Amino acid sequence: MNETSAPEAPSGETQHRETQWPRWEVLKQDAPARPHQAVGSVHATDPEHALVTARTLFARRPSAVSMWVVPDHAILARTQEQDERGEPLPDTAEGEAQPYVVARKVNHKRSMTFVDVVGTVTATSPARALDLARATFPEPPALAWWVFPDAAVTRTDDTPETVESWFAPAKDKTYRQQSSYGVVGTHASERRGRRAAAPAGEQSGGEHD
């Protein structure tokens, strides 16, 4: 399923009895009109824990109105390069028809997020869902796909109360925003030996997630 194969060279003796918590991919919606976007993952033991952890990790800086978590094993991921190379899809079993969420990446632009959700298709397996997704969302050509059962998604409530308590408070914490510090010391443009581009220190002022 989710491509994390090709192991590293064997690790040394594990001296620490470890419990590896499952991994959940996190999708965040910045505003009501925007799609859910893959922002990273969290390790957690159950869906509620994953959601609470995702909020702590990814909603620190505004904005967000909704968050989803999906266990990584529920995702069928596929890249254009795998298609071109003809790598076979992993075996997926046929089952009952159910909705699959479809997400895609369409360009190589520098970004904080990976795939964007574009919609859902109904299919009897992840492989079929991927086929249907290709047919349903052909433009622009996708560089990467994710399909995963809608049933595997755990979501924050859409209620105003949840948005108020989960996401809104971060907006007031302006001390986390570099823009609230203004220009500290001299502005980049005043420094001698500057090239055309100012360093990221001054330039990323508008950047937010």
Partner 1 sequence: MIQDQILTETPEQIAAFEARIARGEKIEPGDWMPAEYRRQLIRMIGQHAHSEYVGMLPEGAWITRAPSLKRKMILIAKVQDEAGHGQYLYHAAETLGATREDMMDGLLTRRAKYSSIFNYPSLTWADVGMIGWLVDGAAIKNQTMLAGCSYGPYSRAMVRICSEETFHHKQGKEMILAYARGTATQRRMAQDALDRWWWPSLMMLGPHDADSTNSGVLTRWGVKLKSNDEVRQEFMDEHVPELLDAGLTIPDPDMIKDEAGHWRHGPIDWTEFWAVVKGERGLGAERLGARRAAHDDGAWVREAMEAHAARRVTAQAAD
Partner 2 sequence: MTDTALTSSTLDAAQRDALIARLTALADDELILSHRDAEWVGHAPILEEDIALANIAQDELGHAGVWLSLRGDLDGSDPDTLAFRRDAGEYRSARLVELPRGDWAFTLVRQFLFDAYEAVLIDETCASTYAPLAEAARKIVREERFHLQHTALWVERLGLGTDESNRRSQAALDELWPHTPQLFAPVPGEESLVAAGIVPDLAGVQARWTPLVTAHLARSGLRVPATPSAPPAPRTEHTEHLAELLREMQEVARQEDPGTVW
Per CB under 8 A, residues contacting partner 1 are 2-9, 11-12, 14-21, 23, 39-43, 45-46, 49, 57, 60-61, 77-79, 81-82, 85, 87, 105, 108, 110-114, 143-144, 173, 175-178, 180-181, 184-186, 191-193, 199-201, 204-205, 207-209
Q: How far is CA 96 from CA 126, 132, 150, in A?
A: 11, 15, 13
3-state secondary structure of 72: helix
Residue number with CB closer to partner 1 (131 or 209): 209
3-state secondary structure of 173: coil
Residue number with CB closer to partner 2 (29 or 120): 29
CB of 161 to partner 1, least distance (A): 25
Binding at 55: pick from partner 2, partner 1, none (beta carbon under 5-8 Å per type)? partner 2
Beta bridge partners of 144: 79, 105
- How many CB atoms lie under 10 A from the CB of residue 160? 10
Q: Where in 124-163 is the site for partner 2 (CB under 8 A)?
A: 161
Q: What angle do CA 114, 152, 144 make, to 5 degrees?
A: 25
CA 13 to chain centre: 33
Beta bridge partners of 103: 117, 146
Question: Which residues sit at the interface with partner 2, rule CB under 8 A?
Answer: 21, 42-45, 48-49, 52-53, 55-57, 60, 161, 164-166, 168-169, 172-173
